[in-house]
């Protein structure tokens, strides 16, 4: 890719990012106990964050944000013994991210650049385009989760959350390659 990579992504990063979600799914699938699955999600997310620090001597901003969200909503679900809290987490977080990105753009800030500027280098127009597209993606994700948790069984929602939303976001990020290539700052070396 012609976008300058300002930081290489360690091979273990994928395990640390998706491992807790897969453990959440597996625990729910085999036990049919979303509260146990939520406890596993919270615990494994905290462990993944600790491993990230141990292995890399840094904690990515998005991983920290995700850990706080999982711990908050998962903790509420466990405390109140109510799956609703973990089910609305994707709606609330995706909705908040859409508002955060849109608000930052409307104020002529570059919120996505502040979050991801270490991972990729784009010109200002590229950051603007990517931010608006990501805003739309997060808004659609929030809406999709809101519909899903209301109409699906708990087990089906867990599958939707684990694979549906995750694969949709992965596909979305892959589709951004043309924008990243077009507006990427070329390596001058």
Give the per-residue pLDDT at 188. 44
Q: Residue 2 and residue 177: Cα distance in Å, rounded?
A: 10
Q: Residue 98 and residue 137: Cα distance in Å, rounded?
A: 8
Give the per-residue pLDDT at 175. 79
**37 with 21: CB under 8 angstroms?**
no
Q: What is the mean pLDDT of each run of 10 residues along the chain (189 residues)?
A: 44 79 97 98 95 86 90 98 97 96 92 79 85 92 97 97 91 79 64
């Amino acid at each position: 890719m012609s976008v300058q990579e300002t930081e290489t992504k360690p091979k273990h990063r994928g395990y640390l990012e998706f491992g807790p979600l897969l453990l959440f799914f597996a625990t729910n699938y085999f036990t049919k106990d979303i509260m146990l699955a939520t406890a596993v999600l919270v615990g494994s997310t905290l462990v993944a964050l600790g491993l990230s620090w141990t292995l890399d001597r840094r904690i990515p901003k998005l991983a920290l944000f995700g850990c706080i969200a999982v711990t908050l909503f998962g903790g509420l679900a466990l405390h109140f013994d109510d799956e609703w809290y973990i089910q609305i987490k994707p709606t609330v977080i995706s909705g908040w991210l859409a508002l955060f990105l849109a608000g930052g753009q409307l104020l002529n800030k570059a919120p996505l650049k502040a979050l991801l500027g270490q991972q990729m280098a784009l010109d200002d127009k590229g950051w603007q385009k990517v931010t608006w597209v990501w805003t739309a993606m997060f808004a659609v994700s929030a809406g999709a989760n809101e519909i899903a948790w209301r109409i699906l069984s708990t087990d089906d929602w867990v599958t939707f959350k684990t694979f549906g939303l995750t694969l949709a976001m992965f596909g979305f990020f892959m589709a951004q390659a043309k924008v990243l290539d077009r507006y990427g700052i070329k390596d001058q070396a």
